[in-house]
A and B are shown apart, each in its own frame.
Chain A
Amino acid sequence: MSVMQLFQPSATGIMKDQVARYVVSVLTPDRTGLMRGITTAITDLGGDIQGISQTVVQAYFTVILVAEFKSSVTAQSVQMTIVENFPEHSISVMVREFHDHCEASSDSERYILTLMGREAPGILKQLTEYLAEQAINIEDWYFRIDGAMVTHIGEITVPSRLDIRRIQEDLRILLEPRDLRVHCRHENIFRATNELESIGLMLDLQTRDRAKPDRKLKHV
């Protein structure tokens, strides 16, 4: 398994007060069949998976997912059932109650930040400090080291009140002295150049989604 992300709306129709919703996080050395073991455990408990983000970093598999269960299913039982599907001490599982946190993306837009240049310690610290100061949220991050060079790709949500030109200039001033080229571009350019959907339709849907309070959950 390499990388997978998916969110889908619940089709169960179960009323809110009769269900329990959990966030499940799993870490284990990568091998085939891991997703089968995890999803089988959740299905055996009657769970409905509503969102998944999964990746592998340097041979370590990690997945975070949201699932809905009958209210009688506890977090501990979910954790135990998953662990039981794997060899002893081979897997770390954390289960927490789900709380909706939509406010972070209610008035923001998604940008792709790319950073390329010479690898050096402290790049991420310097960059993430700046992003946090600006209340810019990091939704996804990837980086690759190739010899002395490093490439970072981040998905970030930038509050609409911020001037993107100032952010771009701040990042340039911050990172160019470290021999790094940094660019921050709205996600639409990457969708336009890599997807087949009509541009007009894409922009129309985005405008409509922006008006919805739960757009982050739907988009991820």
Chain B
Amino acid sequence: MYRTDNVLETVRMLQDENLDVRTVTMGIDLSDCAGRSMTSVASAVHDKITRKAANLVATCDEISARYGIPIINKRLAVSPASRLLEGHDQHAATRLAKALDAAAAAVQVDLIGGYTALVHKGMTPGEQFLIDSLPEALGSTERLCASVNIATTRAGINADAVLRVAGAIKNTAAATSDRHGFGAAKLVVFANSAEDNPFMAGAYLGAGEPECVINVGVSGPGVVKRAVERLVTDRPHCTLDQIAEEIKHTAFRVTRTGELIGREVAERLNTPFGVLDLSLAPTPRVGDSVGEIYQAMGISRIGAPGTTAAVALLNDAVKKGGAFASAAVGGLSGAFIPVMEDRALAQSAAEGWLTLEKLEAMTAVCSVGLDMILIAGDTPTATLAGIILDEAAIGVSNRKTTAVRIIPVPGAKPGDHIDFGGLFGAGTVLPITAPTGSEAFAQHGGHIPAPIQSLVN
């Protein structure tokens, strides 16, 4: 016997507040596909992916029906592809990219991540091939996503890699100029990347992970927003700690929903369950926005003073609720602020309240970083490198993941409106307050040493 109010509350979360499982991501290690011939490597990659993930989509659909919960995306995250490129060349990198894309299509997943290089301390030839191949790899594939980790708190920031990847971002946008530079939306640059993150574009299977694993990303900004709205309506004079408590309780329920789905999918696929990533990831739909949570808290113009504190409150409460709900919470777990993918954030950016510089401040306390931001296509490469260096410095100094997924839209100027469609959303090209003036700093290259807080042993 279940309490009827509990049943109805769960039904309301599912039916009216957009609670869903944002992604079930299968991690697959491809180390055993290495070889001297890219023909054999590509064949082995295709065989392994189609074997391991053959039933992923069908199983997710079954579980989705059983619980009446939408599973929006089914994805793959492979071990860093750069490892398969050692001893090969840049042409081989593009062939590998296409093999990964074809395998993803064969098993009907939405996206495949792991076209990845981890270069926070230095770059091997294979990693350089991968970074240099990004424009062609992302321009000629549909499902492939790429990431480059250029910094960690323990290693510091690889400024040479930053310059190289900044060039790759510009070239990727140029290679997909017919789609407003969309290729760059599938490329993310990390500091302190998470090895079990199920969300794209940055998902890959890290070195310490099993050969095959199911990680789940659960979202639910609409559920949190409605919970805050109800609290504020019922108790207009509620305090911020009461709001935090309400978010925490809601995060608890959302987390457990995700863990249930993840464990059942993993069991049916006879695959270990990895982590549940509770990240409030918005979509462009009304009622599925992280920005609307800030508005429900009382930040009517997102970007106004107080916004960073609201992000910190939300991020912390989500983590605490998730940590209590499950021992398997991992990945990024917090609040994303992808501007284009969030209707309320995009609106505030278009109105000029939410600037690139304010977003950077918010990334110091959110769970990731500068995400899905449009800038002018003629932004100098060194300026892009400066943006990446700034964001990496925040992550490295605060021992947290930060990221840059920024799209220099070819031919676009600040104020132009760009629409990628679907979950990638739409937005306005943002101005950079000082678009030049730091070239010499970025072009020094080399390495920014690890901060003193890295010496923890």
Cβ-defined contact, A194 with B68, below 8 A: no
Contact of A185 among B9, B68, B263 (CB under 8 A): B68
Contact of A155 among B2, B14, B253 (CB under 8 A): B2
Q: For chain B, residues 291 to 344, give those with C-beta under 8 angstroms from any C-beta of chain A.
A: 326-327
A194-B6, A198-B327 given as contacts; is B257 within 8 A of A155 (CB)? no
Chain A contributes a number of interface residues (CB within 8 A of B) equal to: 31
Cβ-defined contact, A194 with B10, below 8 A: yes
Contacts of B15 in A (CB 8 A): 181, 183
Cβ-defined contact, B65 with A168, below 8 A: yes
| A181 to B69 alpha-carbon distance, docked (Å) | 15
B interface majority secondary structure = helix
Cβ-defined contact, B3 with A192, below 8 A: no
| A57 to B65 alpha-carbon distance, docked (Å) | 33
Contact of A114 among B3, B7, B326 (CB under 8 A): B7
Interface centre among B3, B8, B66 (most CB of A within 10 A): B66
Contacts of B13 in A (CB 8 A): 193
Contact of A192 among B9, B65, B256 (CB under 8 A): B256
- Is A83 on the interface with B (CB-CB < 8 A)? no
| A149 to B10 alpha-carbon distance, docked (Å) | 19
| A81 to B122 alpha-carbon distance, docked (Å) | 86
Can you list 13 contacts pairing A with B, beta carbon distance less than 8 Å?
Answer: A114-B11, A165-B65, A185-B68, A189-B10, A189-B260, A192-B257, A193-B9, A193-B13, A194-B3, A194-B9, A198-B326, A203-B267, A220-B1
**Could you give, for residues 9-25 of chain B, a 1 whenever the CB lies within 8 Å of some chain A CB and a 0 otherwise?**
11101110000000000
* Nearest A residue (CB) for B67: A189
- Is A33 on the interface with B (CB-CB < 8 A)? no
Q: For chain A, residues 172 to 204, give those with C-beta under 8 angstroms from any C-beta of chain B.
A: 181, 183-190, 192-194, 198-200, 203
Cβ-defined contact, B1 with A155, below 8 A: yes
Closest 5 CB pairs of A and B: A185-B68, A194-B6, A192-B260, A192-B256, A5-B1
Contact of A193 among B4, B68, B253, B263 (CB under 8 A): B253
Contacts of A164 in B (CB 8 A): 65-66
New contact pairs (15) apart from A114-B11, A185-B66, CB-CB < 8 Å:
A3-B1, A53-B1, A155-B1, A181-B15, A185-B14, A186-B66, A189-B260, A192-B260, A193-B10, A193-B253, A199-B260, A200-B259, A200-B263, A203-B264, A203-B267
Contacts of A142 in B (CB 8 A): 4
Which residues of B line the A interface, CB within 8 A? 1-4, 6-11, 13-15, 65-69, 253, 256-257, 259-260, 263-264, 267, 326-327
What distance in Å separates the Cβ of A194 from its nearest Cβ neighbour in chain B?
4
| A189 to B14 alpha-carbon distance, docked (Å) | 10
Contacts of B11 in A (CB 8 A): 114, 183
Contact of A199 among B3, B9, B263 (CB under 8 A): B263
What distance in Å separates the Cβ of B212 from its nearest Cβ neighbour in chain A?
19
* Nearest A residue (CB) for B254: A193
Contacts of B10 in A (CB 8 A): 189-190, 193-194
Contacts of B6 in A (CB 8 A): 190, 193-194
- Is A144 on the interface with B (CB-CB < 8 A)? yes
Contacts of A53 in B (CB 8 A): 1
Cβ-defined contact, B1 with A144, below 8 A: no
Interface centre among B1, B3, B4, B15 (most CB of A within 10 A): B1
Cβ-defined contact, A140 with B327, below 8 A: no
- Is A112 on the interface with B (CB-CB < 8 A)? yes
Contacts of B8 in A (CB 8 A): 114, 151, 153
Cβ-defined contact, A153 with B4, below 8 A: yes
| A142 to B343 alpha-carbon distance, docked (Å) | 39
* Nearest B residue (CB) for A202: B260
What distance in Å separates the Cβ of A139 from its nearest Cβ neighbour in chain B?
9
| A144 to B259 alpha-carbon distance, docked (Å) | 32
Cβ-defined contact, A189 with B263, below 8 A: no
Cβ-defined contact, A199 with B259, below 8 A: yes
Contacts of B256 in A (CB 8 A): 192-193, 199
Contacts of B264 in A (CB 8 A): 203
Contacts of B327 in A (CB 8 A): 198
Contacts of B4 in A (CB 8 A): 142, 144, 153
Contacts of A203 in B (CB 8 A): 260, 263-264, 267
What distance in Å separates the Cβ of A176 from its nearest Cβ neighbour in chain B?
14
Contacts of A5 in B (CB 8 A): 1
| A64 to B198 alpha-carbon distance, docked (Å) | 49
A140-B1, A186-B66 given as contacts; is B257 within 8 A of A153 (CB)? no
A112-B2, A194-B3, A199-B260 given as contacts; is B68 within 8 A of A189 (CB)? yes
A114-B7, A194-B3 given as contacts; is B69 within 8 A of A189 (CB)? yes
**Could you give, for residues 39-66 of chain A, a 1 whenever the CB lies within 8 Å of some chain B CB and a 0 otherwise?**
0000000000000010000000000000
| A164 to B8 alpha-carbon distance, docked (Å) | 21
| A194 to B8 alpha-carbon distance, docked (Å) | 11
Interface centre among A140, A144, A187, A198 (most CB of B within 10 A): A198
What distance in Å separates the Cβ of A55 from its nearest Cβ neighbour in chain B?
9
Contacts of A140 in B (CB 8 A): 1
